[in-house]
């Protein structure tokens, strides 16, 4: 078993997990961090450090994010392949066919739209 980094990490890439990994198995792609399953020693140190709760043991990954097993395992094919898979998932999600992305709800006092990834709206 290895750990998997899933959708909540996309475009956020908080590196707290990288700092605690004893074997440096977490790598940074363009839009997401991924765990190399060949290097991961299944220690679990990364999981509680993730502020967006994007890290799961592979056997506990929510079904809606099962596509991220492939994304993490693609590290062995190179970071460009990871980037390609993430872009495919995001494109499918924008078309409504994947159901991968969940809106990130900002705190009520945060500027911006209804999704934390939306840029803040400027008063006209």
Q: Report the chain's mean pLDDT, rounded to a whole number.
A: 85
Query: CA–CA separation, 107 vs 93, rounded Å?
Result: 24
* pTM for the predicted model, two decimal places: 0.76
**Residues composing the chain:** 124
Residue 108 has pLDDT above 80, yes or no: no
Decide: 22 and 49 in contact? Cβ < 8 Å. Answer: no
Write out pLDDT tens, residues 94-107: 765 444 555 455 55
Q: Which residue has the tokens 């190179």?
A: 78
Question: Which residue would you say has higher pLDDT here, 114 or 32?
Answer: 32
Write out pLDDT tens, residues 49-60: 999 999 999 999
Tokens of 114: 């209804």
Confidence of residue 92 (pLDDT cuts 50, 70, 90): confident
């Amino acid at each position: 078993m290895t750990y998997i980094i899933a959708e909540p990490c996309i475009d956020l890439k908080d590196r707290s997990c990288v700092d605690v990994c004893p074997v440096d198995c977490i790598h940074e792609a363009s839009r997401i961090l991924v765990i190399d399953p060949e290097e991961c020693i299944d220690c679990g140190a990364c999981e509680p450090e993730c502020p967006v709760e994007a890290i799961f043991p592979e056997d506990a990954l929510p079904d809606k994010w099962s596509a991220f097993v492939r994304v993490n395992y693609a590290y062995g094919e190179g970071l460009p392949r990871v980037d390609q898979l993430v872009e495919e998932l995001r494109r499918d999600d924008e078309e409504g066919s994947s159901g991968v992305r969940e809106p990130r709800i900002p705190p009520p006092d945060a500027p911006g739209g209804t999704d934390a990834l939306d840029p803040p709206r400027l008063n006209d």
